Amino acid sequence: MHDRAAAAPDACLGPTYYLDSDHAGIRAFAAEAVGDATAPVDKAVKLYYAVRDRITYDPYSIAMTPEAFRASTCLAQGRGFCIFKAGLLAAVGRAAGVPSRVGFADVKNHLVTARLQALMKTDVFYYHGYTEFFLDGRWVKATPAFNIELCRKFRVLPLEFDGRQDSIFHPFDADGRQHMEYVADRGAFADMPYEEIRDCFLAYYPGMLAKDGVGGDFAAEAAAENR
């Protein structure tokens, strides 16, 4: 069990095994995304949009190996589900000098594809991942999961982030249908709580788990079901 108290700002700047902010690719991605921004808020905003839209959301990429949970792995693959993208955003935040950590909540997603629903056998997403940046003296939530192309296909309002207000999922989609409901808070961590997530997924999602993910085109499914 990870010590949640250890997720203080001064413990959320350096690299870890999972949030490998010292990886050359992570450093390069962060530097390119930040550009000439110097203020922490501006850096965080630029990093958020870079991860949100340049890394494709893919719930079928779930793999339960420690290597799969590393931020550099998500970056190299160019895709990942919410936990992987949250870890990547935290890692590039640290690479840019912004204290960053990962947070988790259980959510009910009312807009899943038929195939994903059949594989999960539930509408609850345990350990939904997001990122928290320490900005202007407080932690601010940022949720980079859904890239803008997927939002358009699913008719979900894209999440914006200004570095000052929490960016969390909308309760309704663009058509007024129920979208996301937060049902439990799992807390925030200075590093990825891999063992906790692995044990939870093994218990609740046995049909989703494979060495390299189950495969499939989630965006195409979303587009076909939301015409």
pLDDT value for 171: 54
| Separation between Cα atoms, residue 196 and residue 110, nearest integer Å | 25
pLDDT value for 1: 43
Domain tally, the chain: 1
Pull the structure tokens for residue 2: 């990870």
Q: Which helix (H) or strand (E) holds 125?
A: strand 124-135
Does 2 score more than 60 pLDDT? no
Max CA-CA distance within the chain? Answer: 47
Does 8 score more than 60 pLDDT? yes
Tell me how crowded residue 178 is: count the other CB atoms within 10 A of its CB: 12
pLDDT higher at 124 or 94: 94
Q: What is the mean pLDDT of the chain?
A: 87
| Separation between Cα atoms, residue 221 and residue 150, nearest integer Å | 10
Place of tokens 């870079």: 50
pLDDT value for 83: 96
Pull the structure tokens for residue 150: 């997927």
| Separation between Cα atoms, residue 88 and residue 71, nearest integer Å | 4
Does 93 score more than 90 pLDDT? yes
pLDDT digits (tens, 9 = 90+) for 101-141: 999 999 987 567 778 888 878 888 899 999 999 999 999 99
User: Residue 212 has what DSSP assignment?
Assistant: T
Pull the structure tokens for residue 67: 């290597």
Does 4 score more than 60 pLDDT? no
| Separation between Cα atoms, residue 169 and residue 107, nearest integer Å | 10
pLDDT value for 3: 52
pLDDT value for 212: 55
* Domain span including residue 166: 4-225
**What does pTM read for this prediction?**
0.89
Dihedral sign for Cα atoms in the order 192, 104, 162, 135? negative
Class of residue 91 by CB neighbours under 10 A (exposed 0-12, middle 13-18, buried 19+): buried
Cα–Cα distance list, 220 to 44, 159, 169, 209 (Å): 30, 21, 21, 21
Confidence grade of residue 205 (pLDDT, cut at 50, 70, 90): confident
pLDDT value for 158: 79
pLDDT digits (tens, 9 = 90+) for 57-80: 988 888 889 999 999 999 999 999
- First-to-last C-alpha distance (Å) of the chain: 44
pLDDT value for 196: 96
| Separation between Cα atoms, residue 55 and residue 75, nearest integer Å | 7
pLDDT value for 220: 78
Confidence grade of residue 30 (pLDDT, cut at 50, 70, 90): very high
- Segment 212-219 mean pLDDT: 69
| Separation between Cα atoms, residue 56 and residue 37, nearest integer Å | 25
The enclosing domain of 66 has a CATH number of 3.10.620.30
